[in-house]
Amino acid sequence: MLRNTIFALVLTALPLAAPPALAEQRVPESQAEISLSFVPLVKQATPAVVNIYARRVVESRSPFAGNPLFGDMFRDYGGRPQVQNSLGSGVILSDDGIVVSNYHVVGQASDIRVVLNNGAEYEARVLLGDEEADLAILKLEGAEEMPSLPLRDSDSVEVGELVLAIGNPFGVGQTVSSGIVSGLARSGTATGNARGYFIQTDAPINPGNSGGALIDVKGRLIGVNTSILTRSGGSNGIGFAIPSALISQFVEQARAGNTDFERPWAGMTGQPVNADLSESLGLGLPNGVLIAGLHPESPFAQAGLETGDVVLAVDDQPVNTPPEMIYRMSVAGLGHVARVRYMHDGEPQVADVEMIAAPETPPREAVTLGDRAVLPGLALARINPAVASELKLPLTGEGVVVTDPGRFAPRIGLRQGDVLKAINGRAVETPADVDRLLREAAPRIQIDALRGGARVTLRFRT
- The verdict on whether 134 is a catalytic residue reads yes
Tell me the average pLDDT across 326-339: 94
pLDDT over 90 percentage in the chain: 63
Q: Is the pLDDT of residue 369 over 70?
A: yes
- The verdict on whether 336 is a catalytic residue reads no
Structure confidence at residue 180 (pLDDT): 94
Structure confidence at residue 29 (pLDDT): 66
Looking at 86, 101, 104, 309, which residue is catalytic? 104
Tell me the average pLDDT across 247-251: 96
Q: Is the pLDDT of residue 1 over 70?
A: no
Question: In angstroms, rounded to a whole number, what is the distance separating the alpha carbons of residues 340 and 325?
Answer: 10
Question: In angstroms, rounded to a whole number, what is the distance separating the alpha carbons of residues 239 and 201?
Answer: 5
Q: Which domains does the chain have, with CATH numbers?
A: 48-140 (2.40.10.10), 154-255 (2.40.10.10), 268-354 (2.30.42.10), 367-461 (2.30.42.60)
Mean pLDDT of the chain: 85
Q: Is the pLDDT of residue 190 over 70?
A: no
Structure confidence at residue 17 (pLDDT): 37
Question: In angstroms, rounded to a whole number, what is the distance separating the alpha carbons of residues 223 and 363?
Answer: 38
Structure confidence at residue 194 (pLDDT): 42
Structure confidence at residue 191 (pLDDT): 43
Q: Is the pLDDT of residue 233 over 70?
A: no
**DSSP labels for 57-119?**
EEEPPPTTTT-TTTTTTTTTTT--EEEEEEEEEEEE-STT-EEEE-HHHHTT-SEEEEE-TTS
CA separation (Å) from 229 to 40, 168, 206, 414?
A: 31, 18, 10, 36
Structure confidence at residue 5 (pLDDT): 42
Structure confidence at residue 73 (pLDDT): 53
Looking at 210, 227, 235, 298, which residue is catalytic? 210
Structure confidence at residue 78 (pLDDT): 53
CA separation (Å) from 175 to 25, 98, 209, 215?
A: 20, 22, 9, 13
Q: Is the pLDDT of residue 47 over 70?
A: yes
Tell me the average pLDDT across 300-324: 93
Tell me the average pLDDT across 33-58: 83
Tell me the average pLDDT across 431-436: 95
Greatest mean pLDDT among 16-25, 195-204, 391-400 lies in 391-400
**Nearest CA-CA partner of 281 in 266, 294, 292:** 292
* Lowest mean pLDDT across 8-22, 298-312, 354-368, 369-383: 8-22
3-class SS of residue 297: coil
pLDDT tens, 265-292? Answer: 999 999 999 888 888 887 878 899 999 9
Tell me the average pLDDT across 406-429: 94
CA separation (Å) from 397 to 67, 181, 445?
A: 30, 42, 25
What pLDDT band is residue 373 in, cutting at 50, 70 and 90? very high
Structure confidence at residue 443 (pLDDT): 93
Looking at 89, 101, 130, 134, which residue is catalytic? 134
